[in-house]
Homo-oligomer: A and B are copies of this chain.
Amino acid sequence: MHPIGRVVRQDDRVFLDIFPEYSQALDGLTGFSHLWVLYWFHEHDKPAERGILKVHPRGDPANPLTGVFATRAPVRPNLIGLTACRLLHREGTRLEVEGLDARDDSPVLDLKPYIPDRDSIPEAYTPNWVKRPSKKSG
């Protein structure tokens, strides 16, 4: 597993700076309105955090203690983050995106186009804790 780029946050804007050797692999992406960004939760890359198996989702003790595979928490055995983003713009190997919650300098692992026929499941149901208002992701 090698990073293919980095997240760059500048003021309120979020960019993906993809390494130049992968430039060709971006061709065609601007035909999509949205993409999946897979990145590494690098700030949690410590054995102790990768060993955490249960959390209170969104760091809220009012939420039930839950297995990490049933949450989007940034602590998990493999620290892969997954976010659907709007693709605003491509300039060379720099992509500007909207809606990415990754921290500045997060390694980017992969990009995939958002394909509604396979990715959009509006009728999927969730436990009640997902529906509670919160400020933190998890």
Say whether A88 faces chain B, with CB atoms less than 8 Å apart: no
Task: Name which residue of chain B comes closest to A19, CB basis.
Answer: B77
- Beta-carbon contact of A38 and B77 below 8 Å: no
Interface residue from B18, B26, B31, B125 paired with A126 (Cβ < 8 Å): B31
- Beta-carbon contact of B28 and A64 below 8 Å: yes
- Beta-carbon contact of A67 and B25 below 8 Å: yes
Q: How many copies does the complex hold?
A: 2
- Beta-carbon contact of A4 and B110 below 8 Å: no
Given A72-B113, A80-B110, A121-B34, A27 and B54 touching (CB < 8 A)? Answer: yes
Chain B proximity of A32: nearest CB distance (Å)? 5
Chain B proximity of A67: nearest CB distance (Å)? 4
**Residues of chain B lying within 8 A (CB to CB) of residue A111:** 69-70
Closest 8 interchain pairs by CB?
A28-B70, A31-B127, A28-B66, A27-B67, A69-B111, A29-B70, A25-B67, A24-B53
